[in-house]
Structure 1
């Protein structure tokens, strides 16, 4: 039987939820006792297994909890200083950054989370069997917070740049919509390699023809991809309806998300046809 004393003033609910998850996933017979000492909650945790196993499992739990709270804290602090960002942008950035950087123990570790959080927490638990969550966040995560701040700064720059590009592309599309669409319907079909191809309403492959007609200057830029050409063609033609087939085969799923942002209601996904079957 291994006994651990855990302390927190703000994260009792999250801690108990994590301990319950651990008990269910590892089928451990744990005993939890909570008592309040002023503003502090003392959580006594008894685990039935070898000390090595219990230390590792509890370190995972504490690392999960600390990781999530630190990422949230860094985001809130940094985004408060960005007065130029709208509230909705701050919310989107925080949600996306949390999703990109928080990995639970079930999902695995990033390397710097492993070395800057999990390993030191495991060493502390092995040595003392006592863990203070707020104390650890306040005094033992400085390097982790610095790395997160650097990642977040670049993330915000990328987000702003992507938004500006999408806004510009939408403007180009809106200007194109003012004129008569060059095609009523276009089909976007993925080949076996996951490359996008454009077909007209008669299901004739027009990819090569369109690239030659609309992308002559772009062909000189070796950094551009097939997806870049297709996007340029679609903006130029601005079809009333774009039907996308075999989306699961797409080698660049982000490209489809970009199309959804730009063309919005003009996009339909095929739910099954002879082209999808083939």
Structure 2
């Protein structure tokens, strides 16, 4: 009884290992599945058949075999071909990057695909795992065919899978360059800080719930806003926003130490991350003081008045 011929170009040893693992059911049931391996050109062929049909105790053995082999092919597509597709797309789309940057992007794409298991589709179920979608496609194919070339299956029946990888790559390339530009931006600001002579020993920054802030010196006196008058005037003449003004102000006075006073709920604001990155070990976050409590009380008062 002929069962199936599987053809593929990729890693023979790895693919045979995956196939054998999924077909363990037949060994356990003491059903002997015969196998032959041939190579024609650059394609490996694994031929499955049953020589002695009398020893088969299941009438629907072909359907059972197809199910387990479909599971194996699904694992092969994800565990073997996914990485090959990523490598090919990176080679095509990231030829201008050095090998280290390519490795970083590849690692991020793999991690992204592992974290985003589900894909969108039309019909009753708007979401389905990519593994389930691949498995169904393979099962449908095996119902009508006794030969399956995995490379062809991916090219013609699993186009969604390649498109999914391509989308993941494009997103991670974009994120990679955004982060690279951000790091360069931080390095430039750090350079300016190093050039500046410190004008004050300590600056306390109180971030208010409305997005504004106040700067105090080490004696908790409000720092004179006249110091930043020229910078403030630039806001109306350029695209500089309120956060840009704060960073420019801090670089101008180059404090030896910065203490940030804010609620825990907004400690992950982008401006706070930038300050920590630029001034590094000069920055600390206040665990709670009268300034923090005062701002918290003001927020509660405002909410009650509303």
User: Could you tell me the TM-score, scaled by structure 2's length?
Assistant: 0.53
1:101: how far off?
7.0
Moved more, 212-221 or 237-246: 212-221
Q: Which of these residues, 179, 190, 195, is aligned with residue 207 of structure 2?
A: 190
Count of aligned positions: 216
Q: d(CA) in 2 for partners of 1:120 and 1:84?
A: 29
Is 1:265 the counterpart of 2:281? The answer is yes
* SS across alignment from 1:157: helix
1:188: how far off?
1.2
Show the counterpart of 2:237: 220
Cα distance change of structure 1 residues 149 and 96 upon mapping to structure 2, 3 Å threshold: closer
Show the counterpart of 2:262: 246
Q: Which of these residues, 120, 123, 139, is aligned with residue 114 of structure 1?
A: 120
Show the counterpart of 2:86: 74
Unmatched tracts of structure 2, length 5 or more: 1-9, 26-73, 143-147, 295-306
Show the counterpart of 1:274: 290
Show the counterpart of 2:223: 206
Q: Which of these residues, 133, 154, 162, is aligned with residue 142 of structure 1?
A: 162
1:263: how far off?
0.5
Show the counterpart of 1:154: 174
Show the counterpart of 1:17: none
1:161: how far off?
1.8
Q: d(CA) in 1 for partners of 2:171 and 2:195?
A: 36
Per-residue CA deviation, residues 171-229 of structure 1 (Å, 9 max, x unaligned), is: 111111xx2x11110011111224333222232333844442433224322x3321111
User: Could you tell me the TM-score, scaled by structure 1's length?
Assistant: 0.58
Is the Cα contact below 8 Å between 2:259 and 2:283 reproduced in 1?
yes
Unmatched tracts of structure 1, length 5 or more: 1-8, 11-35, 46-61
